[in-house]
Amino acid sequence: MADDAADRLGRLFDAHHGRLFGLACRMTGDREDARDLVQETFVRAAAAREIPPNAEPWLVQVLVHLCRDRRRRQRVRERHAAEQRREPEAALSTPDLDLWHAVAALPPRQRAALVLHEVEGHAVAHVAALLGVSPITVRWHLHAARRRLREVLR
């Protein structure tokens, strides 16, 4: 029985790790963090009692939640470090960096919807299925993300 579970996990990894790694890289901006998050996603898949037959949406949701939790922890550390040093951050020099820093600052669901739709080119319905929300919710997250980016990048 354990061999069946290991085989299923191996097949899941082979089928989905590349896409999950790409999404994690875009959501975190760091390849090492992305590797850790994808690894943790599959650790959770191994520990799960049951994974739906169409595992991709489940795996994406786990990854997005892990990214959200990582970002929350990171913000706490950043606030603490800022309180310790009270120095202004160096200004960014290129518009591309400004854009990706603005995208990285978006809430995780908005960032995931924006990356999946605008960067990876998925249709709204597919993004909704991957995130486990309705298409209307995806459109709302896209609208909110674009509005936020316009405000930040002015």
H or E element at residue 123: none
Residue 85, pLDDT score: 62
> Is the pLDDT reported for residue 113 higher than 90?
yes
- Whether residue 134 sits in one domain with residue 72: no
Q: Which residue has the higher pLDDT, 137 or 95?
A: 137
- Whether residue 13 sits in one domain with residue 76: yes
Dist. CA 17–CA 95, nearest whole Å: 31
Domain end, chosen from 42, 66, 89, is at 89
Residue 87, pLDDT score: 47
Q: Which residue has the higher pLDDT, 83 or 50?
A: 50
What separation in angstroms does the CA of 41 have from each of 56, 74, 97, 103? 11, 19, 28, 22
- Whether residue 48 sits in one domain with residue 5: yes
> Is the pLDDT reported for residue 23 higher than 70?
yes
Cβ proximity of 56 and 126 under 8 Å: no
- Whether residue 114 sits in one domain with residue 62: no
Residue 134 CA, distance from chain mean position: 18
Q: What average pLDDT does range 132-137 have in this prediction?
A: 94
Q: What average pLDDT does range 84-93 have in this prediction?
A: 51
- Whether residue 81 sits in one domain with residue 113: no
% of residues, the chain, pLDDT over 70: 90
Residue 52, pLDDT score: 81
- Three-state secondary structure along 30-52? CHHHHHHHHHHHHHHHHHCCCCC
> Is the pLDDT reported for residue 2 higher than 80?
no
Cβ proximity of 52 and 141 under 8 Å: no
Contacts of 19 (CB under 8 A, 6+ apart): 56
Highest mean pLDDT among 49-53, 74-78, 132-136: 132-136
| Tokens at 118, concatenated | 């605008």
- Whether residue 105 sits in one domain with residue 72: no
Residue 108's domain comprises 91-154
- Whether residue 21 sits in one domain with residue 85: yes
Dist. CA 106–CA 121, nearest whole Å: 19
Residue 143, pLDDT score: 95
> Is the pLDDT reported for residue 148 higher than 70?
yes
